[in-house]
Chains A and B, each alone.
Chain A
Amino acid sequence: MPNSTTPLLSIRHLVKHFDISGSLLDQLTLEKGRLRRRRTTVKAVNDVSFEIRRGETLSVVGESGCGKSTLARTVIGLYPPNRGEVVYEDRRIDHLSARQMLPFRRKMQMIFQDPYASLNPRMTVARTLEEPVVFHNPGISAAAAAEKVADVMRQVGVDPKWADRYPHEFSGGQRQRISIARALMVDPEFIVADEPVSALDVSIQAQILNLLMDAQEQRGLTYLFITHDLSVVRHISTRVAVMYLGTLCELAPAASIFSHPRHPYTQALLSAIPRLGEQRSQHIRLKGEVPTPIHLPTGCVFHGRCRYADARCREEVPVATALGPDALVACHRVAEGKL
């Protein structure tokens, strides 16, 4: 077991904004008789910092639009960040060229939500799985590649004799196994999984979660797990990061965040989880709706919906501060010791 406290990957002050203002003509507006040019940006991720430790499963949770998928994609290099750094072991990777990035691409793989969209319908399973191996090991013989394919297919529970079939011949659960196999083909260290079980039925979901946990144990994988399903998070995570409107609210070990959530948003979010066999839980009702990430609220992004918000929350952006050895909370009231 590698030392579980060395960070495998660090994210420092990561910012990702998307410009959605369109063409120059779309940007022009008439204001009080004067032509003005306005840009519209979606502020998807705003100054998020945390570390992912070797061998752990760090889950990022939050509701639609909180920036969790953007964060995942920025971490793995699908989006360049606007500001901030992504550091893999001790090397900054967010500004590397495609060529310089190559060795890291091999160490980092991604699994997507929809196995219907993420597998090429015109490629057989064998070709889908061979492609990354051949790409990263140009000299590999066809026989060795085929052997590797059969090996990994067995590991994910898909019979290698189906290697010549196409994705449409498989069920959703089987397809997700194949997407996982594709990620495992290059023997990565780090896997980003974006909602990998959300599209699956409960009984199939259990099969895939077991597969992911087994693969982690056998290969010592580190996971960055993105999901909105909090009962899945509770089951598989070492630590949990909660995001709201592009900001990190709280990060803590899974057990303690579920038993003692500190940030008011975490408290509301966790109280809303439907639990089997519990009569209607007394969930904390949030006032209003999530504001648009185009015009972020001043101060704490959550202040408009928070029942503890005061003047300071409306003006000053709270910084995630360490609370105990292993937890971060970004809340003025918690920092003041009032919550």
Chain B
Amino acid sequence: MLYLLVSHNNKSKRLEGSSSFLADLYELVQYSGNIVPRLYMMIAIGTTYMGTTDAPTKELMKDMIEMCRGVQHPIRGLFLRYYLSQRIKNLLPMSSEKDFNETVSFLVLNFIEMNKLWVRLQHQGHSSERELRHRERKELRILVGLNLVRLSQVLDEYTDSHTGSVSGVELYRDNIFPVITDQIIQCRDLLAQSYLVDVLIQIFPDEMHLATLHPLLNEVFVRLHPHLRKSELVTSLIDRLINGSSEEMKLANLFETFWDFYLQLVKLDSDIPSEEHSQLLQVFIKLSLTFDPENYDNLNQIFQHASQKLIRKDAADEESLWVDLMTVPVRFFPLVIELLLLPFFHKLFENITSPQLKRQLGVEILDKLLASKGTTYQSSDEIDAIFKYLQVLVVETGSEVNTAKDLGVTLSIKVGDDSMVSQAFLDVQEKLCKIIHFVDGSDHLKAVSNLLYLRKKYLNKNLKNIVYTYPTLVQRILMKLRLGLAKKNDDDENKELVLTSNFKNVAMVIDELYQHHAEYNAEIALKLNVNAASVADQMNQEKIAYEFFTQAFTVYEESLSTGRGTGLNAHDSMGGSVSYQLVVMIANKLASLRHFSRENYESLITKNTMYGSRLLKKQDQCRLVYLCGHLWWWCELLTLVSETMNEDNERIEHDESKEEAENEEKGEDDTKENDTKSEKPKLYRDPKRVLECLQKALRIADSCMDPYLSVRLFVEVLNRCLEFHIYGNELVDLRYINGLIELIRTNLDNLADDGVDGNERQLYYSIRAYYDRTLHYIEEQQYLEAQFVGVVI
């Protein structure tokens, strides 16, 4: 650097006079006995000299690069030549075409020599240090690569200046490309080839690659080191082309060119590892999708090749590669359904034997299908098209968590029958359910038959898993049925027939589910039955609805009446056992029925009330009985709701919330006789049975051994009484209410004295507060609405 500085100073001196100062200096430094410093000095001075006017630029340039041959030590040589190219980069002659050619040959020569040195570095030193050499070479590669970068820049400049008679592209094709690639091939070095070809691909502009694409593929790539992973190079080339994707490229038959290359490659080297095939084909797919997205033939061609030539039966461990190959188009294809229809895509899919991989691919397809919003599957053909890929998710789910393999890494979830499944499995099942929602038809009834087709052909192939998919299927069928038949005229002769047969199918589906999952998932069957009943009622099909209810009761009695699950806090009216919840749910559905004969209805509600009174726990019995009281006293609020056909079938639980709503809205009850229901001009009301229910509830509450719970239930019944009073049940009169209040007060007073310790005090206060609120409400109503006048507070 000192020399450099000195030479710069001298240069400025030179401008004043002594013309050949730098020339002399250039000669003088050549007396230096050691070659490396000599050459550095020559370059420092020579390049400075080149920067002056009238300097013999080209001669200097040639002389320096020629003399650099003296340094054959790889690392020193690399750095020396790198220094030369750095120093000279802004001084290269570019003014004429001749200049330019010399510049190019200078750069090419430097590149060739540097590459030789770089390759030779590998063979230096002891063989045990081979790895070290390799690392060193990797670190030094940029020195070699920069020559190509410089060439590319020079070409750019040339193209911009328009000095020459030939274009930059032609020049690259005819003068630069052959020399460079020849050197790359000749060096027969793995690292050099992979790095340099990559650099070549990255730094020269697209149009140059287009001009040399054919020779690059068919003459260069195929002659590279046999162990070189050509797929990486092809990938980066194609990525490059894709990112550039100019118009002219669309015109070029890129895919054919690459495909020919691939066939040639396969012909020349039959031992290409499968990874390579897979990688190559993957980028071809990308290429085809980018430049010719409508052309499915290319893809089919690829899959045909893969399924016929590449997949070997005995190489299961390679299958993941083919799955990768298939995943690429699934991810990038705009219309995945078109892809699924390609015959060889399916062939390839069929060839994969590992269920796990098939599943993986199935999930990819599933995700993609779900992502393409608005697509529906209208025919059995379309269902076949997608489900031949998805069936693996239904059949070979791999739901069992193998603890030995997973070592507990996978999050597992316990399902009903104590077996463990993974979250991933549940996610997949959920996605399948989503797909079921995309199954449609030209009309609603067609959709129903498509859904049934789907179930028969695919879903019921693994009975273990129908528990996940059938609920969705049934709900979808019910929805379609309701929509489909609501539009038909009532006088349609076929309607009855169609309805009956379809509901029978629904019953069959639910029954199938129940048959296989009675032990742990009977609730689902019950809920589905009740929902189906509700829909049937809305379609004015009393007989069918009745059957569904009967079925629901059967399920209840067979599997659910034993009351698993407990509401932990007996004082919480929201809680209760599973059985309690189910009976409440049935009661809810019963309350919304509107097309039943009195006889059938009473038979159903009586049965339901009976179930209620037979529950295991006192508090459950009591609450159910007073709730069932409502079944004998229709309220117009519910009627209005049931008239709108769009009621959501899935609203099952939490009837309490509805009741509270009723409690609060009871002020509106003066509209009650305005009901316009055509078939039943009068709402079904039976005050006597209501009273009986309340009495029964009181009796059960009274028989409670826990005095606190007993009083609490009394207060709850009192609230119901107030409600029925407002509804206008004359049997629940003021006297009755007064009696009840009196009873509660007495009981509360008894409790007020003894309970002293914390927990019981708490309970007492909470009941007391509840009771006080109730009384306060009555008082308020007396004052505001003139109701309950005569109730003694």
A binds B: no
**B positions within 8 Å CB-CB of A:** none
**A positions within 8 Å CB-CB of B:** none
